[in-house]
Structure 1
């Protein structure tokens, strides 16, 4: 169904190809997962399937890409639209209408389908993706995860033969991600849809793949094979595979269920040991409060987005804010930065009331890295972005660039931020905010688009900041990140706090928010592979 023949892509102004000599065949009716480190060219290959590369992005494509027999060199994206449905990393770039129902219908209207067919397919998709309650909502009022589901739904309604998905679960809570992946599996198994997907959160998706294609350095052959075989040698792999390597399980299990069946000897070896939590329990926060919210309520139009929120974050403390899509996590971060005014209650950041404090003063107390990192980036090159960040923060020249190098090794100074992958762009935005070293750091989905190595570097940077006395509040669906980093977990539901406590107590007792290691070794409170490795 999809065939790459000796494909190389070089963007304008680039010294070397982003992908080189790629040969890959995706048969009809298979779900193939594309994996590899950030910046290795996964998004470029996906865009080549729909013809966006090179017709829209520019640059030079050598070799040949065919989809259902159509050559993308001679068929522009609009001539492939009836065959290929594409969802990129950024749902906002995908939308062309204002409301959910209109967006689901737009692709079918463009293809000239009959109104009766359109109506039926819209209803089916609303039910499939749990969007029925949002049908009349303006897209601008949706959370990031809700937008992601709408974007996926809008390409499902025309019933394309091929689905191309770039990080489809990155902004979804665990339950919503499972629903979307179940829908994709149903399309593959029941309708013979071909799915090519790139995803960094392999713990969510690898068990659904028929085959995995591992992209390595440009020019290296693509390694394609059954998921377990590829994961055994892949430098990027989910925690269950990392645990298998520590325990010596070959081939590695890909699901929690399979791992639990093999974990009895490992549980016996760990029976007398206790998980090390030096980075969580050992660094007791000093009493200075970075945030205090009491009885906080926020309304967005007729919707009560937050109610009766009591929250404190002290110096040196890292708090993970979790909950399903639309629970109010981003709204709470917005209230802490003065972007929305409370309807009632009070909130203080560094002793200031955010919505009554001038932005130039508040920025010295709190830094926010939003879900859409491009909101913070306006310069033409990485070097210019870093120079501006140094100047704005009054930091020594090179401070921001050093942070970028720590989070994101190997990115040239003259790269335009828009040419970075989503994960690379997020790392750059994070470096820009960290340059000012605000006492309170707010992060909204900080691991979107980051591979496991980049996530490990991020964890190291944030642990260092917490040790220096910074307060960190991160809104995330990444349960593995919370397990690695957070002292406390706060779970929101429908705008209210429903759980607040030490990480190991909250996540181990929650089926939805428990990391893979906790599920495998339950009921003992092991959270990470590093804890298990240290104990062994």
Structure 2
């Protein structure tokens, strides 16, 4: 169905091809996962299938890409629209109408489908993706995850034979991600739809893949094989594979269920190791999830906070205190109010009732030049913070705005985003790279309270590890950090405390282990595999095992 024949793509002004030697085939009715570190060209490969590369992006495409027999060099995107449905990393750039129902119908109108067919397909898609309650909502009022589901739905209604998806679950909560992936699996198995998907959160998608195409490094030829074969050599891999590598399991497990069946010996080793040290089974987790200090003065506090936006009550009587050195993960389904809470703390949203305070300051009444030294927000769309033409110019502006010494921001960029040159335009960065640049811009002012909205969206595992190291360092220095995230693995790795939101209300607030271990949706993979022992991460397991037991 999709065929790459020795494809290379070189963008205008680039010294080297972004991808080269891409040669593989996606058979009809299979789900193929495109994996690899950030910046290796996954989005370029996907764009070549829809014809966006090179017709829209420019540059030179050598070799040949065919979809259902059509050569994408001679067929522009509109000439492939009846065959290929594409959803990019940024759903906002995808929308052309104002409301959910209109957006679902728009693609079918463009293809000239009959009204009765359109109506039926809209209803089917609303049910498939859990969007029925949102059908009349303006798209601008939806959460990022809800917008992503609408973007996917707008493509599904046209019933394309090929789906090209770039990070389709990146902004979805765990339950919504499972629903979307289950829909994709049904399309593949029942209707013979061909799916090519790039995704960094491999723990969500690897078990659904028929094949994996790995782009190991920029310009390197891809590696094609079964999920187990590719994960054995991949530089990026999910926690279930990391645990399998640590335990020396062959073949490597791809699912929690497979890993649980083989975890008996490992669980016994962990039990023995802790007994040998005279520790209780859950003691390492309890110790790790306790906040590093208990200072008397909070850096942020919300009291009886309620927010109503567009006649929708986004937050209801929220009470929350954030102390220095504490890392808090805000979790909950899409639309639960996480982003609204962050926006309230940074003064972008005015309370309908209740109070928000940063020390003695009231965020929505504080001048931006003063607020930037009290709180910093990295939003879901990092480009909202980026306006200069080069990375160097962004960093110079950040240093000036923060009153920091020259080079402060650039040093943070180097730490978070190694290999990116000063003259790179932010728009030429991948989604994950732009996020890292925006984080560096915000961190330049060293605010005592740092807010991050979906900070690992678009980040590979190595970039996520670098982010975790930076955030841990900030917490150790006394900065308070609040993350709104659907990334359960990130919460397990870094959060001292988890606050669960549902319909604008706090339904749980406590140490990470206490909250996530008891939740089927928000428990990390290691917890599910090693239950009832309360381990959260592979690094905890590695530290607990004697050196001779860790392979």
TM interval, short-chain normalised: over 0.9
For 1:349, the equivalent position in structure 2 comes to 358
For 1:23, the equivalent position in structure 2 comes to 23
Q: In structure 1, how many angstroms separate the alpha carbons of the residues matched to 2:213 and 2:153?
A: 25
For 2:539, the equivalent position in structure 1 comes to 530
Map 1:221-236 → 2, pairs under 5 A:
221-236=221-236
396-405 vs 462-471, greater mean Cα deviation:
396-405
Residue 44 of structure 1: how far off its partner (Å): 0.5
1:44 aligns with 2:30: no
| 2:232 match: secondary structure | helix
| 1:289 match: secondary structure | coil
The answer to whether the 8 Å contact 2:216/2:234 transfers is no
1:448 aligns with 2:457: yes
Q: In structure 2, how many angstroms separate the alpha carbons of the residues matched to 1:152 and 1:301?
A: 24
- 1:241-283 Cα shifts (integer Å, max 9, x gaps): 0000111111111111111111111111111424635654372
Q: In structure 1, how many angstroms separate the alpha carbons of the residues matched to 2:181 and 2:218?
A: 29
Residue 5 of structure 1: how far off its partner (Å): 0.9
For 1:107, the equivalent position in structure 2 comes to 107
Q: 1:285 to 1:35 in 2, by over 3 A?
A: farther
Q: In structure 1, how many angstroms separate the alpha carbons of the residues matched to 2:214 and 2:297?
A: 47
| 2:396 match: secondary structure | helix
Q: In structure 2, how many angstroms separate the alpha carbons of the residues matched to 1:239 and 1:29?
A: 28
For 2:9, the equivalent position in structure 1 comes to 9
For 2:152, the equivalent position in structure 1 comes to 152
| 1:181 match: secondary structure | helix
The answer to whether the 8 Å contact 1:22/1:219 transfers is no
For 1:71, the equivalent position in structure 2 comes to 71
Q: In structure 1, how many angstroms separate the alpha carbons of the residues matched to 2:380 and 2:219?
A: 33
Map 1:217-296 → 2, pairs under 5 A:
217-272=217-272, 273=274, 274=281, 276=284, 280-281=289-290, 283-296=292-305
Q: 1:285 to 1:224 in 2, by over 3 A?
A: farther
Structure 2, gaps ≥5 residues long: 275-280, 546-551
| 2:290 match: secondary structure | helix
For 2:90, the equivalent position in structure 1 comes to 90
Structure 1, gaps ≥5 residues long: none
Q: In structure 2, how many angstroms separate the alpha carbons of the residues matched to 1:350 and 1:34?
A: 46
For 1:420, the equivalent position in structure 2 comes to 429
The answer to whether the 8 Å contact 1:287/1:315 transfers is no
For 2:277, the equivalent position in structure 1 comes to none
- 1:221-246 Cα shifts (integer Å, max 9, x gaps): 21111101111111100000000011
| 1:152 match: secondary structure | helix
1:507 aligns with 2:512: no
TM normalised by structure 1 equals: 0.99
1:395 aligns with 2:394: no
1:142 aligns with 2:150: no
| 1:63 match: secondary structure | strand
| 1:271 match: secondary structure | helix
1:329 aligns with 2:346: no
1:472 aligns with 2:469: no
Q: In structure 2, how many angstroms separate the alpha carbons of the residues matched to 1:513 and 1:502?
A: 13
The answer to whether the 8 Å contact 2:307/2:313 transfers is yes
Map 1:352-367 → 2, pairs under 5 A:
352-367=361-376
Number of equivalenced pairs: 536
- 1:339-374 Cα shifts (integer Å, max 9, x gaps): 111111111013211111111211110000000000
1:430 aligns with 2:439: yes
* CA RMSD after TM alignment: 1.0
| 2:293 match: secondary structure | coil
Q: In structure 1, how many angstroms separate the alpha carbons of the residues matched to 2:338 and 2:36?
A: 30
Q: In structure 2, how many angstroms separate the alpha carbons of the residues matched to 1:448 and 1:218?
A: 20
For 2:32, the equivalent position in structure 1 comes to 32
Residue 320 of structure 1: how far off its partner (Å): 0.2
31-40 vs 284-293, greater mean Cα deviation:
284-293
Q: 1:487 to 1:213 in 2, by over 3 A?
A: same
213-222 vs 145-154, greater mean Cα deviation:
213-222
Residue 169 of structure 1: how far off its partner (Å): 0.1
Q: In structure 2, how many angstroms separate the alpha carbons of the residues matched to 1:282 and 1:378?
A: 36
The answer to whether the 8 Å contact 1:96/1:103 transfers is yes
- 1:421-456 Cα shifts (integer Å, max 9, x gaps): 000000000000001100000000000000000000
For 2:548, the equivalent position in structure 1 comes to none
| 1:497 match: secondary structure | strand
TM normalised by structure 2 equals: 0.96
1:312 aligns with 2:321: yes
Q: In structure 1, how many angstroms separate the alpha carbons of the residues matched to 2:17 and 2:217?
A: 11
